[in-house]
Chain A
Amino acid sequence: MERSVLDSLGVEIIGVMSPVSICMLLVVLLVSTLSPSSPAAVADSAASATSAATLVYAESPSDPPARRLVGALLNAAAFVALVAVATTLLVLLYYYRFTGFLRNYVRLSAFFVLASMGGSILLSVLRAIDLPLDAFSAIFLLFNLSAVGVPAVLSAAVPILLRQAYLVALAVIVAAWFARLPEWTTWTLLLALALYDLAAVLCPRGPLRVLVELASSRDEELPALVYESRPAGASVSNAVADLGSVELQPVEATPPNRANATQNSDPDLTIVEIESFDETSPLVSNEQPNLSNNDRLQPDIAPRRETGVERNQDISPSSSSSPSPVTTTDSEEFDTSRGIRLGLGDFVFYSVLVGRAAMYDLMTVYACYLAIIAGLGCTLILLSICRHALPALPISITLGIGFYFLTRLLLEPFVVGASANLATILWHRLNYAIAVFSIP
C-alpha cells in the first residue's frame, strides 16, 4: 500500500503517549484490583499509608472539610518543600561532579523500589487474586527482577525495550503507592507539584533548569530516570502497533548517519528525517553528519536545548521497617537526535491522578485520561514551538483535575439520568442491589 502522510505524522507524539497510556492503564488495573471494598478496610489502608506526603496531617474522613483542606494544603506544602530540598541537593551534587555517587544512588533506589515496594504490591496482588506462590520462588523472582532493573535504568548498554519496560514498571509501582494517599491530600499535592514543576523548569534559577543546562553544557546524560522515546528507525509503519518494534535496537545501533537520510532514497529513513529534524532548527542537521560518524556510544550530537523537570521524592512507607528513599527524577527535554524524552515523575503523577480517579468511577478515569493526554499533546506542540524543554505536569494536571470534578459534578447525574431510560433504574438502586448481593 502506498505510504501516505497519515503514516508518518505524529509518530513521535504517539511514541510518548503510548508508554504513558500503558502506565496509566496498569495503575488503574492495580488500583481497582487492590482497592478495598469494605469501609473498615478503607480506613485501615488509609492509616497505613503514612509517608512523606502525609507528614503534617493524617486525613480522616470524619474531619470537617475546613480542617481537611488546611491539613491537605500543609501536607502538600511540606512535600513540595521536601522535593525542592532534595532537588537542590541533587543539583549541588551534580554541580560538584559527584556523578558516580548520583548514578549509584539512582540505581540503589531503583533496586529498593522494585524490591520492597514492588514486592509489597506483588504480595497484595497475589492475595487479591488468590494465587498461591511459595515464599522461595517469590523471593527468587523478585530478587532477579530487581537485580536486572539496576543496570537497566541507567546504563545505555541494555536493550532500550528492557529499559523502557523497567522505567514504566518503576513509575507504576511508585504511582500505586501514591494512589493510597487520602483524597484531599492527593489533589492538593498534585496541584502543588504542577506549580512547583512550572517554577523549577521555567524560572531562570530554577533547580531543574540549572540541572539540565549543566548536563547539556557538559554534554552528558542526566543522572536521572528519564524515559526516552527513540525516533523509530526503520520500522516507522508499525511504530505504533507495538512499542517494542520501535525500541528494539540498542542505543549504539542507531543509524549513525541519520541526517543523511534526506539524500537517501529509502522512504523509511526519509520519514525519520521529517519527523525528527523538520521541527527543529536547520543548524542541527548541518552539523549532524560529521559528528555522528564518531563511534560514540551515545550520540549526543545535536546541541541540546533542554530544560528538565527533576524531582526527588522521599517516600518512607511505614509498613517497611527501614525507610526507602526513592529518587524519581523526571525531566522532559527535546533532543533532536533522540526524539522526545519525558521524566519518570510525569509518568508517576499522571498515573496518580488517574489512579485516584479510578477509585471513584470508570467515567472519571476516562475523562481524566483524555484530559491528561490532551495536556501532554499541548505540551508537545508547545515543545516544538518553544524548542526548549518544558514542564510536562502543569497543563495535564490542571486539565485532569478540572475534568475530574466536571465529570463528577455534572456528567454523572446526566449519564445516569439518560441511561435510566434503558430500563428506568436509578444508580443508587443498582448499587444497593449489588451491595445486597455481594454480602457473603
Chain B
Amino acid sequence: MTVSAGLGYMLISLGPALSLFVSVIAKKPFLILTLLASMLFWLISLIVLSGAWRAFLPLKSALWWPYVILIITSVIFQEATRLIFWKLYKRLEVVLDAFAEEKFRTRLSWTDKMLIALAGGLGHGVAHAVFFCLSLLTPSFGPATFYADRCSRIPFFFVSAIISLGFTIIHTFSMVIAFNGYAEGKKPDQAMVPAVHMLAAAVTLINLAPGGCVVGVPLVCFMGAVTLYYCWQMVWRKLKDQQSRQRNSSDVHVS
C-alpha cells in the first residue's frame, strides 16, 4: 500500500497531464520547448511572489483572512504572468510565422496556435501540480498516511491530489481559452479565465472549515469541468466555422 498508494496519488493528480503530454505534446519538439518555457515562467513568477510574501510567513493558522489575501494576490499575480506570457508569445508568433512562410509556404494554422496555447497551459498546470501536490506527496510513499484535523474522513494526500487534478485542468484549458480570447479580442473569454481561477482558488478556502473538504473538493472538480466544457464549446465552434469556410471556398473553386 505504500509505493502503490504514492504512485496512485501521483497519477490522480498528473495522469491527464501525462496522457496529454504523450499523445499531443511529445510528438512536436516545439511544443515541448513551449511546455518547458511555460513551466520555467511559472516557477519564476512563484519565486517572485514568495519572495514578496516571505516576511509574512508562516501564517498563524487560527486566522483565515490572511489566507484570503494570500490567495487573491497569488491569483492576480498568476493572471499577470499569463498576460506577460501572452505578450512574449505574440512576439514569438511573428517570428514563427515568418519562418513557416519561408519554409512551408503556409502560416501557422489556428490549430497550431491552439496547440501552443495548450502546451503553455499544460506547463502552468503541471508546475502547479508539482509544487502544490507532488512536493507534499513524498511522505505518502512511506508506510503511513495522514489525516488532517479538519478533514478527518479523507486522507490529506488524496485531497491534495484531487485538488491538484482540478487545478491542472483549469490551468491547462483556461490558457487555451485566454489565448483565443486575446487573439480574437473577445472580452467574455478574457474575463472568464481570471474569474474561474479566482473562484476555484476561493473554493479551496472552504476546506479551512471543519469538514469543509467534503464540499470544497467536489466544487474544485466542478470548476475544472466547467473550464473543460467552455473550452470544448469554443474549439467546436471554431471547428464548425472552419469547416463551413472550407466548404464555401471549395464551392467557389468548383464553380
Contact = CB atoms under 8 A, between A and B. Distances in A.
B205 to A, nearest CB: 6
A231 B163 CA distance: 42
B99 A14 contact: no
- Please indicate which of the listed interface residues A6, A403, A409, A413 has the most CB atoms of chain B within 10 Å of its own CB: A6
B246 to A, nearest CB: 13
Interface in A416-433: 416-426, 430-431, 433
B210 to A, nearest CB: 10
Contacts of A128: none
B163 A422 contact: yes
Contact of A5 (B39, B53, B74, B104): B104
A413 B58 contact: yes
A431 B71 CA distance: 25
Contact of A437 (B142, B151, B208): B142
Q: Chain B interface secondary structure, helix, strand, loop or mixed?
A: helix
14 contacts: A4-B100, A5-B112, A6-B31, A9-B30, A14-B33, A239-B29, A240-B29, A366-B130, A413-B57, A415-B46, A417-B59, A420-B61, A425-B146, A434-B146
Interface residues of B, number: 65
Contact of A419 (B39, B106, B132, B144): B132
What range describes how many residues of A lie at the interface?
Answer: 35 or more
B196 interface: no
Contacts of B74: 418
Contact of B149 (A5, A370, A423): A423
B27 interface: yes
A256 to B, nearest CB: 24
A33 to B, nearest CB: 11
Interface of A: 2-11, 13-14, 17, 237-241, 270, 274, 361-363, 366-367, 370-371, 373-374, 377, 403, 406-407, 409-411, 413-426, 430-431, 433-434, 437-438
A6 B156 contact: no
Nearest to A437: B144
Given A13-B33, A426-B58, A415 B205 contact: no
A421 B36 contact: no
Given A410-B51, A411-B46, A422 B204 contact: yes
Contacts of B234: none
B108 A373 contact: no
A414 B132 CA distance: 10
A422 B29 contact: no
Contacts of A415: 46, 50, 131-132, 135
